[in-house]
Amino acid sequence: GDSVTQMEGPVTLSEEAFLTINCTYTATGYPSLFWYVQYPGEGLQLLLKATKADDKGSNKGFEATYRKETTSFHLEKGSVQVSDSAVYFCALRGNQAGTALIFGKGTTLSVSS
């Protein structure tokens, strides 16, 4: 079945450092890909998405490009802030109607000043 694999954390960075969180997927067909963020004590929020190959999703300085050839959707940010500390989930959704999101295990990011 479909699955998502993302790098294990925690990832610990200093403020203004470059961030990469790797995500690869296995799926049949052409899924949509997502990054969700969960801040401490809160629910999940959609960070960005891409629905087809070579699409780039971006939001709040974060970017991820849908790479079909490498089945990847790595999350990047050029300069992280303390407020970016959270758990980041990579997810995919198949293109059949009513399909649920399938999540990776999540990567905890901790940014210090």
Q: Which residues would be at the binding site for another protein (CB under 8 A)?
A: 34, 36, 42-46, 49, 89, 93, 95-106
Listed in order, strand segments (DSSP E) in 1-113 are 3-6, 11-14, 19-21, 23-26, 32-38, 44-50, 56-59, 62-65, 75-77, 86-93, 102-103, 107-112
Q: Nearest approach, Cβ of 65 to another protein (angstroms)?
A: 18
CA distance 38 to 105: 12
Closer to another protein at the Cβ: 89 or 111? 89
Nearer to another protein, 20 or 95 (CB): 95
| Secondary structure element (H or E) that encloses residue 88, with its range | strand 86-93
Beta bridge partners of 44: 38
C-beta closer to another protein: residue 14 or 45: 45
Query: CA-to-CA distance for 25 and 7, rounded, in angstroms?
Result: 12
Query: Closest approach of Cβ 5 to another protein, in Å?
Result: 11
C-beta closer to another protein: residue 60 or 105 = 105
Closest approach of another protein to the CB of residue 113, in Å = 25
- Closest approach of another protein to the CB of residue 18, in Å: 25
